[in-house]
Chain A
């Protein structure tokens, strides 16, 4: 949270509407400094946090730019405009922390002086209602997410009710430890790259105004990038010619001239134009880079669809073989063949590029940088495709339904309540250990029972239902085997020390214990994460948490007392680790307190 200092680029403004002075904003624990980029500018600021009364900021999502308004005690204010909301948030958090601290410090020196002065937005230092300043930071989307999480998870809701509404933890503290839950959804969303649209080359259609012969092509950075990805030759030409040989505008004009020629499907005209202008020819000719890439790719292609391999293996490829005029062959003008790139080829190429996806991750504004980034990404080769290909073939050869399903001995793992899972694991172990002692149960493992059931089912399928559908002995065995697991908890109650003790307790006690355990966990997490105590805010938090913990302590004792004597031993076993954890926390708290008071003897014991 409160790292030593924050440095951000910002504009200093005297009024929200003004143009502002660009510069660097630096905040340390007790000072705010602003250095304008232009050293001659007069708007240099160097103030201490003590003199800041409060702050306001614009909310994300509103139309306003990211502004932070620091109001001075003496009146007047500093307004900073940040480059983005992220910077703003960081700074605001920092300011908030610094203000609380300086507020506390001021109080320590001058009694309730600061408290009286602190305005609405400033963190008040009233102990019970410390509102952590970044409450307003929460966007409505995040709020919704929190509400949703609470609604879905009743345990979380209980905790929230108990601690946040009970003023032991603040809202933000509570959620700070659950960041993962919160950004589980939103985090992935932002990281996902947007792929190409399926139909991209089709987007650039010329527009005619209908009166003149002029056509207009609209180019966006996105389209430029797509063209580079689709046509490596154009990409190469761009890298070679722009900006040394021609300007970018000339380049694109030429490119679209070629496209236009191509769209007229007049191969002869294209050839004539290309003969005159060698740069234009680049766009009109077949892409040699693509041809080379194709030759490489064909070696890696799945052999079960490699039709190219056939070319040597039949007689059709020989000149003068095959039916010459069967109507299937095109009558082409071989001379201008190279200028006759077909639409079908374009479609195939496009599909390929879309599948490859976006390979670069830069701003698309400058085509030059895009082109260079693309060139770099092309060089990275892709290997290990070979093994994958072999795997795929072997997968393809098997006939899936003749094969027994690969997964049948596995049960799907679905842990809704971890207790169920661990209980059943425990059961399994105890089953194994007591194999000898319990004759009836162990004569049939659940797998055997399952197998026998399966066997008899398939038998029935094959033969139909015979008179006694299943032999009675078998039926009993199967039934026992299958029901054993379900009722096992009942069976084993109290018989086995290894058994989960919780199950043997009355329901209310069990719930209570679990609830306490979860609360203690939550509190301890907050407690330990607050150390070392660097700010007074943390100090307040620790003492709050500690108080809450010490309240739970006697409750545990009570539970221990209340249970019937035969279970007391077990409950004791359960409660002991909780007590130990709490004791450790208290101990640490005391030790820390002593150290502090020893170090700063002149300060009163604690800040409040």
Chain B
């Protein structure tokens, strides 16, 4: 369909549109007009991605003199693929209706591991060795040497790509990673370098947001909805790569080469980070580490100092300022020197023509650490733990640098781009984000979901079939009665609910324990008579295969149950829409591990800076995680699913009220304090109701599906209706 939003003609690839999608586009368009940042919250299953993509591409089409380049950042590679697939659909629609004018170039960019087509390189195990073996074949000095000595292996795909020179371009279109690989194979060009090259010409670039953030700071970032960006560094024992003798020998060989720094061929660049603070880039490297051997001495002193700090008996917590001062007095390294460690090491490694970068990860980590400590005076803390809390008798010292201030990592992004759109299903409370991330959005909105029918059915289950309370509270979780009640709940549900059921547990160890005891008392066997069981493990490959099999089982009608962990990889990124998830059971409340020193430090920072109470934050965080888990069942309004929060603590108002509005509005009072048999009854009723045919456009009252004429007629009326 095609409709007008103010002066922009929007091309939307479907015949109908949800009113909230329309409202979303209007707000987004205004933010683009105002050239400012915006914050948009809309529940899952309302089609945010397609709304955003079609508005922005249409915006460029309507205003050709003000072209917008879209950098779309996703959390995971599979989300990236999903986004590109949607864009492909949109692009096909637009080219049909507008013609060649609508042609755009859209590429997905990922690491070498996901784009490489060279079978020799791919044989390497993980990303870093893929990166390193790629560099071993493509670095400029390797290639120069290969000219003289034809026996040296090079990458034929890269050579072909280089040969093609400026002719090596992608024709317009939408390229998923798979398409890129196929295209590269067909042409004989390296897809990775081709994609990186095409990024500057592309209208839409989709990549992991990690590429956008300062790689040093963004050590750990929990999704766009992550309350904070954590930065953590760990140093453990000695790192083998600082074998000083070996390094020095290498340094001595090529100390003079340092001067050449500057015009390096682009294959030698590490993935250039657009977000490196400018001050570091501009300032010159201080004189005392310009010479390689001096720098090496500095590094050795630093490592010795860190080792000394690790030999403590107590947990220590320190701010960066104090830490730097202490380094200065004990090791004689000043703040400015520390600040340049990252850069200096980087240039040194280039000079030394080191291609197996994966062997130097540890020293890189040290230099990252030094630079961060030297650069920032607040927002970080350094925590040294001499042993693990759970095993106090085994010394296992760990030094961690924890970033509490998410705005540090994202600041360069806000500075560099005209409009930054942060969008998610769970941004509430929406006014907190600008404070945490320290920016000023021009638009900050939260949209409701207009439902045609009550297609979600949240329930709070507080008691098991024997009417005793269930909970994963620490004192109750190992109680056999609770374990059995949880098992009976799942068993009864498995016999009633068709197709897929997803279960979330609070942690891996809890899941492992409960599944084992279900096996021992025979409940698991009974469950397996109804459905197959698949489990998320800590091995990603195995989990992926298990998911694939889970979907197969749902597709073929056998039905399956997937056991997963809240805060795990599956909970963060995999959808269980339609028949892949008719029911989600959240066993327990997924609180964070409160004994973690890092968490405590963060809580302290939040309390001091934003006056957020620790308990509030923990509850808020746990409920947000729970909502994220259960929110994965709905993809569109034709979809339906049930959610069971199985813990007596959910019935308390202070916990429950932290759930997002779209769940709360469907949580009836009668569903707040259920036992297994009552929940079963409700489930039966609900499934029977949902199986009936219904009017998709929404019956009486509000419309939930708009056609082109509706949109033209209603105009801005929709807008007022859709906001909270």
* Residues of A in contact with B (beta carbons under 8 Å apart): 198-199, 202, 294-295, 297-298, 301-331, 342-345, 347-348, 351-352, 354-355, 393-394, 396-404, 458, 461-462
A-side contacts of B525, CB under 8 Å: 199, 202
A-side contacts of B533, CB under 8 Å: 347, 351
B-side contacts of A324, CB under 8 Å: 232, 234, 398, 400
- Smallest CB–CB gap between B562 and chain A, Å? 10
Q: Which of A301, A302, A314 has the most CB of B within 10 A?
A: A314
**Contact, CB under 8 Å: B537 / A313:** no
For the complex, what is the distance from the CA of A577 to the CA of B262, rounded to whole Å? 97
**Which B612-627 residues have C-beta < 8 A from chain A?**
none
B127 partner, pick from A301, A303, A311, A399, beta carbons under 8 A: A311
A-side contacts of B233, CB under 8 Å: 320-321
A326 with B89: in contact, given A297-B545, A307-B544 (CB under 8 Å)? no
A351 with B636: in contact, given A313-B208, A322-B220, A458-B707 (CB under 8 Å)? no
Closest B residue, CB atoms, query A198: B528
- Smallest CB–CB gap between A195 and chain B, Å? 9
Q: Report if B709 contacts A (CB, 8 A).
A: yes
The 8 listed contacts between A and B (C-beta, < 8 Å) are A301-B544, A309-B114, A320-B365, A323-B598, A326-B598, A328-B565, A347-B533, A397-B88
B-side contacts of A317, CB under 8 Å: 126-127
**Contact, CB under 8 Å: A305 / B208:** no
Q: Report if B218 contacts A (CB, 8 A).
A: yes
Closest A residue, CB atoms, query B79: A304
**Contact, CB under 8 Å: B507 / A327:** yes
For the complex, what is the distance from the CA of A347 to the CA of B542, rounded to whole Å? 11
A-side contacts of B512, CB under 8 Å: 342-344
Interface size class of B (residues with CB under 8 A): 35 or more
B-side contacts of A330, CB under 8 Å: 508-509, 538
**Contact, CB under 8 Å: B553 / A302:** no
Q: Report if B63 contacts A (CB, 8 A).
A: no
For the complex, what is the distance from the CA of A328 to the CA of B538, rounded to whole Å? 10
Q: Which of A316, A319, A324, A461 has the most CB of B within 10 A?
A: A324
**Contact, CB under 8 Å: A307 / B535:** no
Q: Report if B593 contacts A (CB, 8 A).
A: yes
Q: Which of B99-107, B337-345, B382-390 contacts A (4 or more CB under 8 A)?
A: B382-390
For the complex, what is the distance from the CA of A394 to the CA of B569, rounded to whole Å? 24
For the complex, what is the distance from the CA of A355 to the CA of B555, rounded to whole Å? 11
- Smallest CB–CB gap between A286 and chain B, Å? 11
For the complex, what is the distance from the CA of A351 to the CA of B710, rounded to whole Å? 48
**Contact, CB under 8 Å: A304 / B507:** no
Q: Report if B596 contacts A (CB, 8 A).
A: yes
Q: Which 4 A-B pairs have the closest CB atoms?
A: A327-B593, A312-B127, A402-B14, A401-B638
Q: Report if B272 contacts A (CB, 8 A).
A: no
**Contact, CB under 8 Å: A351 / B215:** no
B-side contacts of A401, CB under 8 Å: 16, 636-638, 696, 705
B-side contacts of A327, CB under 8 Å: 507, 592-593, 595-596
**Contact, CB under 8 Å: A351 / B553:** yes
For the complex, what is the distance from the CA of A306 to the CA of B79, rounded to whole Å? 9
B-side contacts of A348, CB under 8 Å: 534-535, 537, 542, 545-546, 549
**Contact, CB under 8 Å: A402 / B230:** no
**Which B670-709 residues have C-beta < 8 A from chain A?**
696-697, 705, 707, 709
A328 with B549: in contact, given A309-B77, A316-B220, A321-B234 (CB under 8 Å)? no
For the complex, what is the distance from the CA of A308 to the CA of B515, rounded to whole Å? 24
A351 partner, pick from B516, B532, B596, beta carbons under 8 A: B532
B-side contacts of A294, CB under 8 Å: 541-542, 545
A-side contacts of B220, CB under 8 Å: 315-316, 321-323
**Contact, CB under 8 Å: B567 / A461:** no
B-side contacts of A396, CB under 8 Å: 82, 85
For the complex, what is the distance from the CA of A354 to the CA of B553, rounded to whole Å? 9
**Contact, CB under 8 Å: A307 / B540:** yes
**Contact, CB under 8 Å: A318 / B128:** yes
Q: Report if B111 contacts A (CB, 8 A).
A: yes
Closest A residue, CB atoms, query B90: A397
A-side contacts of B597, CB under 8 Å: 325
B-side contacts of A309, CB under 8 Å: 76-78, 110, 113-114, 177
Q: Which of A198, A313, A396, A397 has the most CB of B within 10 A?
A: A313
A355 partner, pick from B14, B127, B210, B558, beta carbons under 8 A: B558
A-side contacts of B130, CB under 8 Å: 312
**Which B548-583 residues have C-beta < 8 A from chain A?**
548-553, 556, 558, 560, 563, 565, 567, 569-570, 573-575
- Smallest CB–CB gap between A109 and chain B, Å? 66
- Smallest CB–CB gap between B107 and chain A, Å? 15
B-side contacts of A315, CB under 8 Å: 210, 215, 218-220
A-side contacts of B235, CB under 8 Å: 320
**Which B90-134 residues have C-beta < 8 A from chain A?**
110-114, 126-128, 130
A-side contacts of B77, CB under 8 Å: 303, 306, 309-310, 313
For the complex, what is the distance from the CA of A391 to the CA of B127, rounded to whole Å? 29
B534 partner, pick from A310, A318, A326, A347, beta carbons under 8 A: A347
**Contact, CB under 8 Å: B553 / A320:** no
B-side contacts of A394, CB under 8 Å: 85, 89
**Contact, CB under 8 Å: B128 / A351:** no
A-side contacts of B76, CB under 8 Å: 307, 309-310, 313
Extra 6 A-B pairs, beta carbons < 8 Å, given A313-B77, A319-B361, A321-B233:
A309-B113, A311-B127, A324-B400, A351-B560, A355-B552, A393-B81
Closest B residue, CB atoms, query A300: B548
Q: Report if B321 contacts A (CB, 8 A).
A: no
A312 with B126: in contact, given A199-B525, A462-B710 (CB under 8 Å)? yes
For the complex, what is the distance from the CA of A331 to the CA of B635, rounded to whole Å? 37
**Contact, CB under 8 Å: A314 / B78:** no
For the complex, what is the distance from the CA of A581 to the CA of B138, rounded to whole Å? 83
**Which B396-421 residues have C-beta < 8 A from chain A?**
398, 400, 402
For the complex, what is the distance from the CA of A329 to the CA of B550, rounded to whole Å? 25
B-side contacts of A351, CB under 8 Å: 532-534, 546, 549-550, 553, 560
> Per-residue 0/1 for B190-223: is the Cβ within 8 Å of any A Cβ (1 yes, 0 no)?
0000000000000000001010000100111000
**Contact, CB under 8 Å: A399 / B541:** no
A-side contacts of B389, CB under 8 Å: 325
- Smallest CB–CB gap between B113 and chain A, Å? 4
**Contact, CB under 8 Å: A325 / B385:** yes
Q: Report if B349 contacts A (CB, 8 A).
A: no
B-side contacts of A312, CB under 8 Å: 110-114, 126-127, 130
A304 with B82: in contact, given A342-B512, A355-B532, A402-B636 (CB under 8 Å)? yes
A-side contacts of B158, CB under 8 Å: none
**Contact, CB under 8 Å: A325 / B596:** yes
For the complex, what is the distance from the CA of A517 to the CA of B593, rounded to whole Å? 83
